[in-house]
Structure 1
Amino acid sequence: MGTTRYIMSMGELTRKDNSLCFRKDGRNVYIPVENTKEIYCFNEVSINTKLLDFLSQNHIIIHFFNYYGGYSGTYYPRDHYLSGKLIVKQALKYEEQRMDIARAIVKGIGVNIYEILYHYYKHDKKEVKETIDWIRKVFFTQVDQAQDIKRLLACEGEVWIRFYNDFKYFLPKDFVMNKRVKRPPDNPINALVSFGNTLLYTKTISAIYQTHLDQRISFLHEPSEGRFSLSLDISEVFKPVIVFRTIFDLVNNRKLQVEKHFEKSVNYCILNEEGRKIFIEAFEARLENVFQHPRLKRKVSYRTAIKLDCYKLIKNILEGNEFVPFSLKEGM
């Protein structure tokens, strides 16, 4: 997991000389800062300003989650990469060509959902043919013809709903989705999707942090106060590739089981600590998975692919190059 540290227990995180110290139950666990890029806190963790200052100096991002595994917020060291020129141009791009970039993102989601479903179609799940035909013959045309963001978001919503509806053809019965429920999730598959999407969103925040882009100026999602909306944009096309492939692998290989890895209460369902550990390990492994990048002529991980999409967006903003998000089929 190299650059990412996950804290699952209650305790106190402090600076100790030139490293980080996590104290729990009277024991100290030392975390070297050299190769730490981000820290995830999945429990109540006490911190102080001395620690935050140290994290800032070392450009370490820290993400906080609530009891449900939901995202609470991020401590984000001051933007040492920000470029005034790029921010101005990014805002102009939003004003003048928002639809072009938003359309590319929605198409990218369709392209990658198509590839995931086509994999199951080839492996004898012929029931998904209806959705893959619809994506090919109807969806892309609708996206091309959409006149505004509202229409694009409707196209995006429909492709996700059709995707979720096909889960029943290749997932065990106890993991079938009736409908997508987010806050809080109400069944095991919703719990996995919410947790996976949140992890991907925060990974994207970290990737964007290492570029000159401004997190607040987005294209498909409304640039809203109180959240990093560009991360929602960039992460969207990676959800089928990273989040859902991780889920399908864990569920179909029985590595995650309803009776062993979930906590169920009256109206919510969340992964328990063991379930979270299993999911995080598989998620990190998926991020480190490599593929041959046709243009760079070298092997690239999915973690790097997220950052490459940020650079593609920068090239679009500064040089007008067409923005084509990551495609599972093209491998770039």
Structure 2
Amino acid sequence: MANGTKYLMSMGELKRKDNSIVFHNEKGNSYLPVESIKEIYCMNEIALNTKFLDFCAKAGIILHFFNYYGYYSGTFYPKENLVSGKVTIKQVEAFLNNRNNIAKSFVQGIADNIYEVLYHYYRHDKKEVQPTIDWIRKKLPDYIEDENLGIKQILRIEGEIWQRFYENFKYILPEDFILNKRVKRPPDNPINALISFGNSILYSKTVSQIYNTHLNQTISYLHEPSEGRFSLSLDLSEVFKPVIVYRTIFDLVNTKQIQVSKHFDKKYNYCLLNEKGKMIFIQAIEQRFESVFQHTKLKRKITYKSAIKIDGYKLEKYVVEGIEFKPFSLKNMI
């Protein structure tokens, strides 16, 4: 993959050889150029040792691990060089004093980007999506702007936004990709499999981008901070799901690049992308991450991947300097 990302789809072993990375599998050795790799996605069983991890740490390479179902398992990344006690304290203060407003900003960002995705289909003769578009534009602001909302009420509003979005899939996708119910672990049909796989990749990509900021990944605002996960990455990635994950899914399915009969393994109670399907999806979502647009405020071209990191910078400026935080907007390109 371009721009420093490498996906390993087969079983094998990662090791250091001199100043190079070697991936060994049944086909032999593949040499990975250290100077051009920033992150490695291990999508199968990969053997490695601490000597290799130490080498990656010194080279600044992040490793993401996924399980059999395509779910994100965890990340190894080098020691945080940008760690900041000041920013962490400010993040905690923002959580204690202004969590609800930050959470509402994320929810509004999700809604705004869902609106833009649906409006695209409305303009292409999918008039059935109009009720959801109207609800987001006319009704939702009254709910979100209520100053008395608690975090549970904010989360319920977020849930309703996603549910209304899912209800429109039947107007956008062919019948064999209709979403009857969002099922995650494990996904039980092709569309759930695509969503789960895409969300896992987006989440891990967000982990990598936040690593390049001063933010503490465990202090979040929309999602509940808890042990054993980078919950701030869950916050930041939510806004980009309509932009990156769902637009990728809609394009692949509607152009028949992904088909139920060719790209899924279906068992009694779950449905997963097969290896060919994963490769098609990975190539498409990476192309979207690297797609370039003109950033309105910065007045220069950036990628969607960089936009995730910029959202991290915006949140950092909010908690440290009090500058208003507005997540990425597909409409305004900021």
**Structure 1 CA distance, aligned partners of 2:106 and 2:41?**
27
| Structure 1 counterpart of 2:257 | 255
Task: Give runs of aligned pairs for residues 137-148 of structure 1, distance below 5 A.
Answer: 137-145=138-146, 147-148=149-150
| Structure 1 counterpart of 2:124 | 123
**Structure 1 CA distance, aligned partners of 2:26 and 2:244?**
35
Runs of 4+ off more than 6 Å: none
SS in structure 1 opposite 2:165?
A: helix
Determine whether 1:97 maps to 2:103. no
Task: Give runs of aligned pairs for residues 273-288 of structure 1, distance below 5 A.
Answer: 273-288=275-290
Task: Give runs of aligned pairs for residues 183-198 of structure 1, distance below 5 A.
Answer: 183-198=185-200
**Structure 1 CA distance, aligned partners of 2:267 and 2:141?**
41
Which segment is superposed worse, 174-183 or 130-139?
Answer: 130-139
Deviation at 1:26, TM superposition (A): 5.8
Determine whether 1:241 maps to 2:243. yes
1:267 to 266, 269, 285: 269
TM-score (norm 2): 0.98
Task: Give runs of aligned pairs for residues 171-320 of structure 1, distance below 5 A.
Answer: 171-320=173-322
Q: Which amino acid aligns with 1:274?
A: K
What is the aligned-residue identity percentage? 62
Q: Note the residue ranges of structure 2 that are not aligned, 5 or more in a row.
A: none
Q: In the comparison of the two structures, how many residue pairs are matched?
A: 332
Which segment is superposed worse, 273-282 or 79-88?
Answer: 79-88
Question: What is the aligned-residue RMSD (CA, Å)?
Answer: 0.8
Which segment is superposed worse, 295-304 or 178-187?
Answer: 295-304
Q: Note the residue ranges of structure 1 that are not aligned, 5 or more in a row.
A: none
Deviation at 1:116, TM superposition (A): 0.5
2:155 to 153, 156, 168: 153
TM-score (norm 1): 0.99
SS in structure 2 opposite 1:237?
A: helix
SS in structure 1 opposite 2:168?
A: helix
1:110-149 Cα distance to aligned partner (Å, 9 max, x none): 0000010011111111100111111111122211216111
**Structure 2 CA distance, aligned partners of 1:18 and 1:3?**
17
Q: Which amino acid aligns with 1:114?
A: Y
Deviation at 1:292, TM superposition (A): 1.1
**Structure 2 CA distance, aligned partners of 1:28 and 1:303?**
30
**Structure 1 CA distance, aligned partners of 2:37 and 2:213?**
17
SS in structure 1 opposite 2:35?
A: coil
SS in structure 2 opposite 1:318?
A: helix
Determine whether 1:33 maps to 2:50. no
Determine whether 1:82 maps to 2:83. yes
Deviation at 1:2, TM superposition (A): 2.3
